Amino acid sequence: MGKGFSKFKRKLRAGAVIRAVVFGLSLGLLAVSGLWLTAKLTAAEPDFVRYSLFGGATAALGLAVMLLILLPTKRRIARRVDKHLSLGEKTQTMLAFRKDNSPMVALQREDTDRILRETPKKRVKGVCTWLFVLIPVVAALTLTATALVPAKEPPAPPPVVENNFTITPWQTQALKDLIEKVKASDMEEQPKEATVKQLESLLIKLGSIKKEPAMKEAVISCIEGIHKAVSEHNTYDTLAQALFKSPSDTVQDLGGAVNSLKALLVGEWMNTTATALAEGGITPAELAAGVTQSLTASGVDTENEVHMALLAFAVELAAMPDTTEETVAPVMAKAEETLNAALFIQATNEEVEDDTIYTLLSIFGMKASEVPEHIFNNPDDPRGEDDYEDDDDLDHIHSGGLGSGEMIFGSNDTIYDPDREAYVTYGEVLKDYYARITDLLVDGKLTPELEDALNDYFAILFNGSENREQENNKN
């Protein structure tokens, strides 16, 4: 095409690239400014890495789009050159007839190229130069302004309303009654003493506490102290963890039964293991060795009753002459009785602990969710629920605590009535609840479905309550 045209072609195309780059970078800066400003105005935490990535992507996209728009074709270059230099379509004609070599066309081409070569490049301007000076200035100013804008402070958290606290007489009495209840319980001496001490300490502390948060803190501290005392005293969980580590599945299952504190599960294990011994699935010596190794590894005091029960069982197993039913059955029965008795004591410790904790929460109007989770968590069974062979096992796991199996309606149990400031039987409270529900029913504030459900519920409760009272009266 000629050097003259090439000169302007290079200039205009370079100009287009520069403009595209400037535009892209400016767009990127504006994008970053936008995000940053938004973060400042919404009191969000600025994430400059994300802003940079977004700004970079925006810049790249802006550059590409602008390049597509601005990068001139040869025709556009020719048109621009003719317009700026008032050449009367010389350059465009030269381009249009570039493949024509007739004398006049060649003359036209040479004449045009000469003019272009002699013309300084600067006489042909790029597209909207002023705009591509203005855009980056605006972008820079926007970024600067964004940097200078103060970040909005995050909203201050609502002021903690600390209610005042003064222990009421009935709370004092309830706490004293609880102390007496613990003393009279079947909890073992060591944890009992510690529990009573914690409760007495709490009573003294609450006399001087004036704010509710401090009160709750004191109650939680007391609960943690009680839990620690009971946990450190009970050994069933430590022994269970040691049994879980045995390579023998049977021994691990024994660990599960011990860990559950359920007599039912201990009994089941005994039956299953008796069958396994009779069928040769495991030998008495193997089982005895497994139990003994676990007991040794546990580190529990040998004088501990659960440890003693398990050790005795292992000794009996090792001494078995054969695995006939006549030999195995008595051993298993004796072990079951001894082990359950030992576990029952520790279960009682935990039962009293739970009862004490819930009573404390009730007295001081606190929720279970305010107590640290670990207080209520049972020791882990590392085997998990999937290790059980069928769902019946799961039902047994979830089916309540170590009890005698008797069905109790609970009418003998007392519950603290804040209105009367005394412990009353559940039946008394039940009547009050029913009266209130009846009022709501009469006022039509309950839906028909709820009405029916409540009627049925209280009917059952009343029947149970009345039956119990009759029995008590007979006794």
3-state secondary structure the chain: CCHHHHHHHHHHHHHHHHHHHHHHHHHHHHHHHHHHHHHHHCCCCCCHHHHHHHHHHHHHHHHHHHHHHHCCCHHHHHHHHHHHHCCCCHHHHHHHCCCCCCHHHHHHHHHHHHHHHHCCHHHCCCCCHHHHHHHHHHHHHHHHHHHHCCCCCCCCCCCCCCCECCCCHHHHHHHHHHHHHHHHCCCCHHHHHHHHHHHHHHHHHHCCCCEHHHHHHHHHHHHHHHHHHHHHHCCHHHHHHHHHCCCCHHHHHHHHHHHHCCHHHHHHHHHHHHHHHHHCCCCHHHHHHHHHHHHHHHCCCCCCHHHHHHHHHHHHHHCCCCCCHHHHHHHHHHHHHHHHHHHHHHHHHHHHHHHHHHHHHHHCCCCHHHCCHHHCCCCCCCCCHHHCCCHHHHHHHCCCCCCCCCCCCCCCCEEEECCCCEEEEHHHHHHHHHHHHHHHHHCCCCCHHHHHHHHHHHHHHHHHHHHHHHHHHHC
Q: Judged by CB, which is closer to other proteins: 100, or 439?
A: 100
Regarding 106 and contact with other proteins (CB under 8 A), the answer is yes
Least CB distance to other proteins at residue 75 (A): 9
Q: Are the C-beta atoms of residues 246 and 293 closer than 8 Å to each other?
A: yes
Regarding 107 and contact with other proteins (CB under 8 A), the answer is yes
- Binding residue (CB under 8 A) for other proteins from 17, 40, 108, 383: 108
- Binding residue (CB under 8 A) for other proteins from 7, 19, 80, 90: 90
Regarding 110 and contact with other proteins (CB under 8 A), the answer is yes
Task: Choose one: 61-69, 106-114, 186-194, 413-421; the region binding other proteins (CB under 8 A).
Answer: 106-114
- Binding residue (CB under 8 A) for other proteins from 92, 146, 292, 304: 92
Near other proteins in 70-89, by CB under 8 A: 88-89
- Binding residue (CB under 8 A) for other proteins from 54, 97, 434, 458: 97
Q: Judged by CB, which is closer to other proteins: 99, or 474?
A: 99
Q: Judged by CB, which is closer to other proteins: 97, or 462?
A: 97
Least CB distance to other proteins at residue 30 (A): 36
Task: Choose one: 92-100, 121-129, 133-141, 429-437; the region binding other proteins (CB under 8 A).
Answer: 92-100
Regarding 115 and contact with other proteins (CB under 8 A), the answer is no
- Binding residue (CB under 8 A) for other proteins from 44, 60, 100, 217: 100
Task: Choose one: 2-10, 101-109, 152-160, 456-464; the region binding other proteins (CB under 8 A).
Answer: 101-109
Least CB distance to other proteins at residue 121 (A): 23
Least CB distance to other proteins at residue 95 (A): 8
Regarding 185 and contact with other proteins (CB under 8 A), the answer is no
Least CB distance to other proteins at residue 114 (A): 11
Q: Judged by CB, which is closer to other proteins: 106, or 453?
A: 106
Task: Choose one: 25-33, 110-118, 289-297, 353-361; the region binding other proteins (CB under 8 A).
Answer: 110-118
- Cα 11-17-20 angle, rounded to 5 deg: 140
Regarding 93 and contact with other proteins (CB under 8 A), the answer is yes
Q: Are the C-beta atoms of residues 411 and 426 closer than 8 Å to each other?
A: yes
Which of 196, 193, 188, 268 minimizes the C-alpha distance to 236? Answer: 188
Q: Judged by CB, which is closer to other proteins: 88, or 157?
A: 88
Q: Judged by CB, which is closer to other proteins: 3, or 114?
A: 114
Q: Judged by CB, which is closer to other proteins: 109, or 192?
A: 109
Least CB distance to other proteins at residue 91 (A): 10
Regarding 104 and contact with other proteins (CB under 8 A), the answer is yes
Residues of this chain that interact with other proteins (CB under 8 A) are 88-90, 92-94, 96-97, 100, 102-108, 110-112
